């Protein structure tokens, strides 16, 4: 037996046929590309970062002696507000990372993309990066209302809607933002440009509610969570301000889904246009 080590030629290895664009195969290939990289550590760190911020805000609210502040709606809306600021920034970081993996430090897996069109690669990358970014907000938007209810926070209206509607809108908003940021990462060679766009989008989107212009959020994906917010402020008979869910919150989830599909389609068209010009 020879003492030298043999290395298999990638072209001789059995690999899935990606020419047909099978969604499961495309996602599997993207997962193979990020396996063993720092991508998952980035995702874990982001989830912990957002959850830690949500936890500190929740503990501050839980320690308040004012009964009106111990509300599940207020606790959940406090976490929801950070989606517009952090979603485009986190999306820019993750999509930039996943877009360059196959051509930088993971050069040995570059052959996995052979036979894939840019559109097919976009679809696979969007599933992986979009779900990753969405989970950063889905996790705290689920555990905060559950924890608040368990320690006696007041619940106004349907707790099921309060639990799932903000979480799903936040998740879809983050996914829509990831679609556009991934498009920037794939069509612009300098990744710093996409990162800069993400930071600017986050700052602008987070200021829409303060400017009382949330409807402008429909014009760009980072502002979707502001434009489609399920929370409204009202004043009771005693003149105290309080936070409530809108009358038909599930319709906003449908609107978020439609917006996600539109922005995904727009991003895919841009990528196809770039591919056709080559």
- Residues 174-228 have pLDDT tens digits of 999 999 999 998 888 888 899 999 999 999 999 998 888 999 999 999 999 999 9
Say if 272 falls within a structural domain.
Answer: yes
Q: Has residue 134 been placed in a domain?
A: yes
Q: Is residue 105 part of a domain?
A: yes
**Three-state SS sequence of the chain:** CCCCCCCCCHHHCCCCCCCCCCHHHHHHHHHHHHCCCCHHHHHHHHHHHHHHHHHHHHHHHHCCCCHHHCEHHHHHHHHHCCHHHHHHHHHHHHHHHHHHHHHCCCHHHHHHHCCCCHHHHHHHHHHHHHHHHHHHHHHHHHHHHHHHHHCCCECCCCHHHHHHHHHHHHHHHHHHHHHHHHHHHHHCCCHHHHHHHHHHHHHHHHCCCCCCCHHHHHHCHHHHHHHCCCEEEEECCCCCEEEEECCCHHHHHHHHHHHHHHHHHHHHHHHHHHHHCC
Its domain, for residue 33, covers 22-276
What total of structural domains would you count in the chain?
A: 1
43-88 pLDDT, tens digit each:
999 999 999 999 999 998 888 888 878 889 999 999 999 999 999 9
Q: Is residue 13 part of a domain?
A: no
Tell me the whole-structure pTM to 2 decimals: 0.86
In a domain, 227, yes or no: yes
């Amino acid at each position: 037996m020879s003492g030298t080590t043999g290395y298999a030629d990638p072209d001789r290895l059995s690999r899935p046929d990606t020419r047909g664009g099978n969604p499961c195969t495309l996602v599997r290939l993207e997962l193979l590309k990020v396996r063993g990289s720092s991508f998952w550590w980035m995702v874990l760190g982001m989830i912990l970062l957002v959850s830690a911020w949500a936890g500190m805000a929740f503990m501050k609210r839980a320690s308040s002696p004012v009964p009106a502040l111990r509300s599940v709606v207020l606790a959940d809306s406090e976490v929801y507000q950070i989606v517009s600021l952090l979603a485009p920034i986190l999306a820019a970081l993750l999509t930039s990372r996943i877009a360059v993996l196959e051509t930088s430090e993971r050069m040995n897996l570059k052959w996995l993309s052979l036979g894939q069109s840019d559109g097919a690669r976009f679809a696979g990358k969007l599933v992986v990066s979009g779900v990753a970014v969405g989970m950063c907000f889905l996790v705290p938007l689920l555990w905060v209302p559950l924890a608040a209810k368990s320690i006696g926070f007041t619940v106004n209206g349907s707790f099921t809607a309060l639990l799932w509607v903000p979480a799903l809108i936040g998740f879809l908003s983050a996914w829509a933002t990831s679609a556009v940021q991934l498009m920037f990462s794939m069509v612009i060679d300098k990744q710093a440009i996409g990162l800069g766009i993400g930071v600017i989008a986050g700052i602008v989107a987070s200021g829409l509610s303060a400017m009382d212009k949330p409807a402008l959020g429909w014009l760009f994906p980072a502002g979707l969570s502001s434009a489609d917010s399920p929370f409204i402020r009202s004043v009771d008979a005693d003149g105290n301000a309080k936070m409530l869910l809108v009358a038909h919150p599930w319709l906003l989830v449908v609107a978020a889904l439609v917006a996600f599909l539109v922005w995904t389609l727009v991003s895919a068209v841009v990528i196809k246009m770039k591919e056709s010009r080559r």
